[in-house]
Structure 1
Amino acid sequence: MAVPNARGARVELSGWGWKHAGRAAHALRGVDLVVEPGERVLLLGASGAGKSTLLHALAGLTGPDSAIGGDQEGMLRVDGEPASRGRGGVGLVAQDPEAQLVMARAGDDVAFGLENLGVARGEIWPRVERALAEVGFPYGLRHSTGALSGGEKQRLVIAGALAMRPRLLLLDEPTANLDPVGAALVRDLLARLLVESEATLVLVEHRVADVMDLVDRVVVVEPGGGVIADGAPAKVFAEHGRSLAEQGVWVPGEEPAPNPSPAPGGAPVLAAEGVIARTPFQLGVRAAPARTVLEDVDLTVSAGTVTALTGPNGAGKSTLLTLLAGLSKPHRGRVVPCGPLAEVDRRPLARWPARRLARHVGTVFQHAEDQFVTAEVRDELRFAPLRAGLGEAEIESRVGELMERLRLTHLAHVHPYTLSGGEKRRLSVATALSSGPAHAPDVLALDEPTFGQDTRTWAELVELLADLRTQGRAITMATHDRLLLRNLTDVRVRVADGRAVPVAAGRADEEDV
């Protein structure tokens, strides 16, 4: 539905397609779509369907002499011009906020886009300060961007996009890394700003129910193809809801309902004792001073149990997770092995040799690319079992099963860095599981393991993790995923205000997420 006299941009695609460099298949092909000024479109599709690719194209990042290489066909116009000519009027919040940060200080990062647009200097900083306040950014203008959590980086990137006051706003899962309070804040802000600015919105979001009030149209694309459904949300879900759910789309009321086997429980394998963590020391006269993130944390992780770390952005969930995984050393206190793990090495985990640590503790980082070490998806999955000494037949069987279950088979020979955000997350989790149940690490430390997944791959990940729990592995994860907490959590620990406090069984308050 077009908005009369709207100030938003008009988008038009005809027979449009895109094939990433080095790929045999198209990400999208034959896309015919018109978005009128002021419309608010929710773009849906299974994980890997090309949603992020389409947003990048609308932002002018694909095509000749653009940032993303590949082959383009058909026509794509924003206000009648190629998208690359209208970048100043487009605001993009991509799936990976870290990739969009360009400056060392928060205020400078938000000001960067405004300076490139030639906004008057006297107007820049009031707009920067307002944007940061509106997204609930908790620090000052000089705060280091390198010292931010994933959710805080996401808020900063959203502030940068909104400060530009774009005519076309492209959002790729803008609240995926935010705590519930922050996500609600951003949704309310978007609703208000879209009314005020009349900007055109194209939004990608897996958790559809949370954004239904923001959009007036739903467009569904299929992998390697074009638009397969288009219309008002109620109409699209009424006519196509069942088939979309079968394809993995998060249709309201059609959430997956896994039935994992009960947790066997077991003896403690890790213990944090009086742990204090501080932000890293930074050089420079304007560097932010070190601050305490965690103080006097005592926490036990047990075998056969899933322990979930929840709490607001910036509270220290990822910090605690890396400490429990032995990847960083606390400022004070220690993380020590217990039970069978102590028989391997009684020293604090931070002092274990890297090879020994990798054998017994598997890690999935918040930024998936940080853990990729090979040039192909198949080789990435073969890496851990080869180091564990598994035979070739066993390796191929396990790798083949994981690729099939997590829908990575068609990407076997693709470079991991070129995957979509959801595909990277699946691969990063799969690498931690690739040695198989008999050789899997004793402890798994997972940071947002279900980020960016459609319902099918979400359910597969839950089942794979539940199987490892049944095998007696200890799983610790930092997450904002309420459905994951409901289906695969035995112990919930709320991280906030420097503390890590167990949450009473049965509590499901959103503030605990």
Structure 2
Amino acid sequence: MPATRSGPARITAENWSFRRADRAAAVLHGLDFSIAPGERVLLLGPSGSGKSTLLHALAGVLGDGDAEETGTLALDGTHPRASRGRAGLMQQDPETQVILPRVGDDVAFGAENLSVPPEQIWPRVNDALRAVGLDLPLDHPSSSLSGGQKQRLALAGILAMQPGLVLLDEPTANLDPEGVLEVRDAVASALADRSATLIVVEHRVEVWRDQVDRVLVLNAQGGLEADGTPREVLVARGEALAAQGIWLPEHLPELPPFNSTPGRQLMTTESLAVGRRAVAAAQGLNLEIQAGQALAITGPNGSGKSTLALTLGGLLKPISGVLKAEPELADGLGAQPRSWKAKDLIARIGSVFQEPEHQFVTGNVRDELAFGLRHQGRRGTEKEGAEKEWAARVDELLEALGLADFAEANPFTLSGGQKRRLSVATVMAAKPKLLILDEPTFGQDALTWAALIELLRTALLEGSAVVSVSHDEQFIEALNSRQLLMPEQPESRLSDPRLTSERRPGR
């Protein structure tokens, strides 16, 4: 790409703290560090430790006018808000960063806003798309991209800007294994000349540990826990960091073996084709979903996994073929979940979207968890008794998923990992017979990941079915899941998905 950067950025923090207006405690507390121009830094910490907040602060986009900020945080000696455009931020949810309807225009948007000369913009766009492995025409509709493809699109837009500071928040979280390496290598290649400083947030350490000079670790209170070379931090302090939830290959979570007993059929499909706007994303699907059984939908990004999940959840109409809710699931309703009322759907099928924010409908975490319970319309239950039952269920989930301290917080102010746990908990609250989860372990540290596994194992043992879209092999194994592999086809048109009926061995 044309070398027109203004040079790599220098970052300094001196006793810097940040507290949101709706929180009693600071999100980040007393940070002291300095990052030299061109350094590559891996930022680690348990879920909710303030990693994303720090990246937003460095990008100058925190935007909370009532927040309290003390100490100094500087980018090239000035407050980051005075240096907007100097940093390029890829957020956890790439959906929020897709702006324009065509791929090429979206990648060019940032560079255009930085007044890059027009003759330089399109070469940058083409180079950036090539670097992230997004081999699509410039006029391809951005709305048709999968979640993983949107992540690559967002990264391409940042690379085309050629900022002095690149901030990546879980850039590979929703990518297939091949895509993870492509994006990591694209970042390494684009910044090989040290023309930009890099800070990357990831929970899975092994992806980036050999690509960075330095590791910063935040603790659960938002303070600086460790700072040093990868060897100094990850090897010398590995056991202590693992105890706080940091994902280290040498200290992976230990889980007992798990098996559940399949029960009655809940849902079947025959020659099912799914898609949007009458364009098939996947077809020829013959599935049997049973109570007490886990099924993982896997495959490359763009292969129709999320579209299938939405269709199974009654939220998209099948293009063709048969999708049937069996009597055990329908419980007196019709065989087509798409035709059920919302209160009936909540009690039978719980769907977790790839973007957690799309599910939130109330102003605080506790109400969010109680929402489905209050609207599922249980028959024959006195309101007063039901409220006590609901409150007990909400408290149980808050405690199990580490959200008790945030019960009164606005869901949209939570960290990415906390939002994901909340989105899973909201559908689990009503104990539906079928759980459909899209990337349920996104943004989780090792401890919250294990807590989520425990909850889902309990749901399976109680007779619910769990269908998950996931690239997380440990998660798939922990639930002893069957796998549906969705093969990649041109233009995301798929055929002959292969369902493996044998179960993976439990841990």
Cα distance, 1:240 vs structure 2 = 2.2
Asked if 2 retains the 8 angstrom alpha-carbon contact of 1:267 and 1:302, the reply is: yes
**Correspondence for 2:499:** 502
Cα distance, 1:51 vs structure 2 = 0.3
**Correspondence for 1:256:** 253
Shift in alpha-carbon separation, 1:69–1:293, aligned structure 2, 3 A: farther
Which deviates the most, 350-359 or 305-314? 350-359
1:76-475 alignment runs, 5 A limit: 76-259=73-256, 261-280=258-277, 291-388=279-376, 389=378, 391-435=386-430, 440-475=431-466
Cα distance, 1:433 vs structure 2 = 1.4
Question: How many Å separate the matches in 1 of 2:137 and 2:64?
Answer: 31
Cα distance, 1:361 vs structure 2 = 0.4
Asked if 2 retains the 8 angstrom alpha-carbon contact of 1:272 and 1:300, the reply is: yes
Cα distance, 1:89 vs structure 2 = 2.3
Shift in alpha-carbon separation, 1:225–1:350, aligned structure 2, 3 A: closer
1:387-415 deviation digits (Å, cap 9, x = unpaired): 34462332222211211111101101011
Question: How many Å separate the matches in 2 of 1:234 and 1:506?
Answer: 38
SS of the counterpart of 1:253?
helix
One-letter code aligned to 1:53: T
Shift in alpha-carbon separation, 1:120–1:209, aligned structure 2, 3 A: same
Which deviates the most, 257-266 or 406-415? 257-266
**Correspondence for 1:287:** none
**Correspondence for 1:488:** 479
Asked if 2 retains the 8 angstrom alpha-carbon contact of 1:326 and 1:335, the reply is: no
Which deviates the most, 321-330 or 264-273? 264-273
Cα distance, 1:69 vs structure 2 = 5.5
SS of the counterpart of 1:136?
coil
**Correspondence for 1:285:** none
One-letter code aligned to 1:489: N
TM-score by length of 1: 0.91
The answer to whether residue 40 in structure 2 is matched with residue 49 in structure 1 is: no
TM-score by length of 2: 0.92
Which deviates the most, 453-462 or 185-194? 185-194
SS of the counterpart of 1:350?
helix
Asked if 2 retains the 8 angstrom alpha-carbon contact of 1:277 and 1:295, the reply is: yes
Which deviates the most, 187-196 or 155-164? 187-196
SS of the counterpart of 1:446?
strand
Asked if 2 retains the 8 angstrom alpha-carbon contact of 1:335 and 1:350, the reply is: no
One-letter code aligned to 1:392: E
Question: How many Å separate the matches in 2 of 1:354 and 1:131?
Answer: 43
Which deviates the most, 35-44 or 396-405? 396-405
Question: How many Å separate the matches in 2 of 1:231 and 1:325?
Answer: 46
Which deviates the most, 384-393 or 365-374? 384-393
Question: How many Å separate the matches in 2 of 1:192 and 1:379?
Answer: 46
One-letter code aligned to 1:295: Q
SS of the counterpart of 2:236?
helix
User: Gaps spanning 5+ residues in structure 1: where?
Assistant: 1-5, 281-289, 509-513
One-letter code aligned to 2:324: V
Question: How many Å separate the matches in 2 of 1:460 and 1:273?
Answer: 35
Asked if 2 retains the 8 angstrom alpha-carbon contact of 1:221 and 1:228, the reply is: yes
**Correspondence for 2:381:** none
**Correspondence for 1:3:** none
One-letter code aligned to 1:454: D
SS of the counterpart of 1:263?
coil
Cα distance, 1:68 vs structure 2 = 7.0
**Correspondence for 2:382:** none
1:138-181 deviation digits (Å, cap 9, x = unpaired): 42212222222111110100000111112111111100011111
RMSD of Structure 2 on Structure 1 (CA): 1.8
1:269-328 deviation digits (Å, cap 9, x = unpaired): 101222222332xxxxxxxxx642112222111111000000011100000011111111
Question: How many Å separate the matches in 2 of 1:393 and 1:122?
Answer: 65
Cα distance, 1:239 vs structure 2 = 3.1
SS of the counterpart of 2:498?
strand
Cα distance, 1:339 vs structure 2 = 4.3
Q: How many equivalent pairs are there?
A: 487
Asked if 2 retains the 8 angstrom alpha-carbon contact of 1:41 and 1:216, the reply is: yes
Asked if 1 retains the 8 angstrom alpha-carbon contact of 2:293 and 2:464, the reply is: yes
Question: How many Å separate the matches in 1 of 2:52 and 2:257?
Answer: 31
Shift in alpha-carbon separation, 1:68–1:302, aligned structure 2, 3 A: farther
1:189-218 deviation digits (Å, cap 9, x = unpaired): 112122134321111000001111111111
Shift in alpha-carbon separation, 1:470–1:117, aligned structure 2, 3 A: same
